[in-house]
Amino acid sequence: MTLAAPDTLARSGASSGAASPRTSVFGSPAIDCDLHIAVPSIKALMPYLDAYWRQQFVTRGIDRLSWNLTSDPPGAPISGRPDWRPATGKPGTSLPLLREKALDGFGVELAIANCIYGGAALHSEDMASVVCSAMNDWIAKEWLDAEPRLRASIVVPMNNPELAAQEIERCASDNRFAQVSMLVAQGEPLGKRRHWPIYAAAEKHGLPVCLHAGSLYHHPMTTNGYGSYFLEDYVAQAFAFESAVLSLVSEGVFAKYPALKIVFAESGVTWLPAALWRFNKTWRGVRAEIPWVKRPPMDIVRDNIRLTLQPFDEPDGAGRLERFCEQMKSDRMVLFSSDFPHWHYEGTDALPISPKSGLARRILYDNPRETFPRLGLRELAR
């Protein structure tokens, strides 16, 4: 990775406190906190592997596998809006399309890319680790070097938290990585101490940890076993986020790492208050089990958890986003996201409130800036 040239720093807006941020289609500056780039095929990563792994990938035929995640099928309608799909290849693989439709299309100042890929989910801890390193180097070179408005998420091998923490350390000096990213449904609850090296490294470097919808399929998406349809799996992602809230708070992740921010990406958002009413109520009676939790869970969640906007679950025109903020007693939790190229809405109709409202400004810009401290850094790359 190389230092961004001075002219690209100047153009990227956030890199200079003096420059006024660009105005989005919503009339105020905006930062997109979840859009997607995709590894077109394993072959794209081959130049970023060392000699041993390149040879292994070829001799074992691994370079011909798809490694598409079951929870993110590229052919499903929801995975790529028709006008956001490239002519060939998977949704999210075209930088020109991303520039035109997402960055220019919404007029965002910056956008944080997530790259969801089966390579990070492999059971082989070493192979998952080298694939993640290759992905991060590929992201930096092929995407971040090419587009100064783009920021990215450090992909980590989820099955080995020590190797994941090492990968965070390796990439952290490149400030274009704004967060760490993992899938929300893994082999065990995410608050367990086994995962803490990831949270320690992330907190140390001012990196929020994004938990993105998706599963390693070590378990079914529902607690009652495997369903039959994509529909069931997709809807059940919200239950995995509920489990994550429960585990992160109960196991004391935020007691141990109070500065850590967890960002839920593609959670649906509006399920959260009801889950917390139940959590708060039950905690009152059994809080002695977890005495490190010294405040009602909802208060902790309000301080430490953030949610990307799209997909946003609401009955049409029901004012649910305002209601969510009332119920959570906070307008600081929701972060604007286009979720490009996923198909949740048409045109640029990604904002379920009036763009003129103060809440819109917070969600579009202030909340992202407060959540991702690295977006404000001048010195971008190592």
Would you say 118 or 191 has its CB closer to other proteins?
191
Nearest-approach distance from CB 293 to other proteins, in angstroms: 9
Instruction: Provide the total of helices (H) and of strands (E) in the chain, helices listed first.
Output: 15, 8
Query: What is the DSSP-derived secondary structure letter of residue 80?
Result: S
> Would you say 115 or 249 has its CB closer to other proteins?
249
What is the C-alpha to C-alpha distance for residues 166 and 172, in angstroms, rounded to an integer? Answer: 10
C-alpha separations of 262 from 46, 141, 324 in Å: 31, 26, 18
- Quick check: 90 and 23 in contact, CB under 8 A? no
105 or 191, CB closer to other proteins?
191
Q: Could you tell me the smallest distance in angstroms from the CB atom of residue 329 to other proteins?
A: 13
- Minimum Å gap between C-beta 297 and other proteins is 11
From the list 45-53, 158-166, 179-187, 283-291, the region that binds other proteins by CB under 8 A is 283-291
Q: Does 18 bind other proteins (CB under 8 A)?
A: no
Residues 6+ apart with CB under 8 A from 378: 9, 15, 16
Please tell me the count of residues contacting other proteins according to CB under 8 A.
15
* Cα–Cα distance, 234 to 229 (Å, whole number): 9
Told to check if 283 binds other proteins by CB under 8 A, we report yes
Q: How far is the CB of 347 from other proteins (least distance, A)?
A: 46
Taking CB under 8 A as the criterion, the residue among 292, 323, 354, 378 binding other proteins is 292
Binds other proteins (CB under 8 A): choice among 284, 315, 347, 349: 284
Radius of gyration of the CA atoms of the chain, in A = 20
SS3 171: helix
Q: Residue with structure tokens 């599963």? A: 215
Site for other proteins (CB under 8 A): which residue of 17, 285, 315, 347?
A: 285
Report if residue 279 touches other proteins, rule: CB under 8 A.
Answer: no
CA distance 285 to 178: 39
Decide whether 61 or 285 has the Cβ nearer to other proteins: 285
Which x/- pattern over 249-278 shows residues binding other proteins (rule: CB under 8 A)? --xx--xx----------------------
User: How near is the Cβ of 11 to other proteins at its closest, in Å?
Assistant: 45
Residues 78 and 76: their CA atoms lie apart, in Å, by: 5
Q: What is the DSSP letter of 3?
A: P
x/- map, 181-220, other proteins, by CB under 8 A? ------------x---------------------------
Q: Whole-number minimum distance, CB 204 to other proteins, in Å? A: 17
DSSP-assigned beta bridge partners for residue 263: 210, 306
Q: Which range, of 17-25, 32-40, 164-172, 290-298, touches other proteins by CB under 8 A?
A: 290-298
Exposed, middle or buried: residue 94 (CB in 10 Å: 0-12, 13-18, 19+)?
buried
| Cα–Cα distance measured from residue 263 to residue 35, given in angstroms and rounded to the nearest whole number | 14
What residues line the site for other proteins (CB under 8 A)?
Answer: 193, 251-252, 255-256, 283-288, 290-292, 296
